[in-house]
Homo-oligomer: A and B are copies of this chain.
Amino acid sequence: MDILSVLKDLAIIVVFAKAFGLLARKLKAPQVVGEIVAGLVVGPSVLGIVKLNDFLEICAGIGVVLLMFSAGIGTNLKQLMHTGVKALVIACSGVFVPLVGGTLLYMGFYGFSEIGTPKFFTAVFIGVIMTATSVSITVETLREMGKLKTELGTTILSAAIIDDVIGILVLTFVIGFKDPDSSPGWMALRALAFFALSIVLGFVTYKIFKVIDKRWPHTRRIPILALALCFGLSYVAEKYFGIADITGAYVAGIILSKLHDSTYIEQKLDINSYMIFGPIFFASIGLKTQINGISWELVLFSAAFVAVALGTKVIGCGAAARLCGFRGTDTLKVGVGMMTRGEVALIVAQRGLAEGMISSEYFTSVILLIIISSILTPIILKLLYSSAEPAA
């Protein structure tokens, strides 16, 4: 691993990721799918011109941290408070049902196992991967139809945000519980301590940033300090509290989300993210995915995985929506709007791989889920809206 081979790898990854990303967008699929395919194509599965190495792995890790930070800083806390209870109920139900569904699916395929065994945690992890909604495609679709600012649109958006938070909490706990030395009480205490620290630190940091923001608006020091906060909190979360680094990055983003210059920070960090670290992350998924020698069992499992992941979200969120007072096709719209998965599912899967909880073959299932849900959601949503409103 020397600088020359890294320069070559980066040049190849950056070009292929962009080219396949644009191609994916042409085909109405999300760009990230294209970037994953780019990784597949340049990797050992097809061309074999790029091999994963330590440098790329670490860059991929930085890419994930930046993505989660970006998700955090984009959070609209005000809107979240506003739609409040309804969104919370829908999100909880939309996390719980797929979590149980995924766990049972794995056990159905590979046999039931007792609580606490490694196999049990793998099963739960398959459930965890299914929890987080990625609402960007739904948002795009609703915006196109002019329905984003309706009560339904706001509720879906808020539920998807809460759903991310809960998903990350679940991930944190599952990873923590897996460790045989950690007692649930100790785990919970450390998590509580971290969130207490986050609130105190968040308050202090927010005040400091506000002063800098006011005195020197739009200066380089703001995104640079934000970047340091993001990296620093990721490190502290995992090192001292046993909480996933990506949770730390997400919290760092939320801390800065109400800042006046938050969009400025987001823009600057996004450039780092989309130019180098983001493409490396998504391409690295492709580099790790084995397409030669896929077993029939995995194909079958992946099909069932996609069906369960989509079905449980629609049922979980739809039923909760009905409880909250939505009626008719509106309940279905909420369910379908919440069923898209994206980056976060990949990030969770990546985390599980790093912790040794799942093997890399399940990436295939997750990628399939992202592609299929991203294609189906806009189509079904449009159908639901056009069937509900007779042509004027």
Q: Give residues in A with beta carbon < 8 Å to B.
A: 1-4, 6-8, 10-11, 14-15, 18, 22, 54-55, 57-58, 61-62, 65, 220-221, 223-225, 227-229, 231-232, 234-235, 238-239, 245, 268-269, 271-272, 274-276
Contact = CB atoms under 8 A, between A and B. Distances in A.
A247 to B, nearest CB: 13
Contacts of A225: 15, 18
Contact of A272 (B7, B57, B276): B276
B58 A6 contact: yes
Contact of A3 (B3, B61, B228, B275): B61
Contact of A275 (B10, B11, B223, B235): B223
Contacts of A245: 3-4, 7
Nearest to A15: B228
B4 A227 contact: no
A4 B235 contact: yes
A231 B274 CA distance: 16
Given A4-B239, A58-B55, A239-B4, A231 B11 contact: yes
Contact of A55 (B54, B221, B223, B227): B54
B275 A231 contact: no
Contacts of A276: 227, 272
A278 to B, nearest CB: 11
A235 B272 contact: no
Given A1-B58, A271-B272, 6 more contacts: A3-B57, A3-B58, A4-B238, A8-B231, A14-B224, A14-B231
Contacts of A7: 62, 65, 231-232, 234-235, 245
Contacts of A231: 7-8, 10-11, 14
Determine which residue in A22, A223, A235 has the highest number of CB atoms from chain B within 10 A of its CB, and name it: A235
A268 B275 contact: yes
A378 to B, nearest CB: 23
A18 B58 contact: no
A310 to B, nearest CB: 31
Contact of A1 (B54, B65, B232): B54
Contacts of A61: 3, 6
Contacts of A15: 224-225, 228
A274 B231 CA distance: 16
A275 B230 CA distance: 13
A223 B1 CA distance: 26
Contact of A227 (B3, B14, B220): B14
A291 to B, nearest CB: 25
Contacts of A224: 14-15, 18, 274-275
A363 B231 CA distance: 30
A3 B55 contact: no
A31 to B, nearest CB: 10
A209 to B, nearest CB: 13
A389 to B, nearest CB: 35
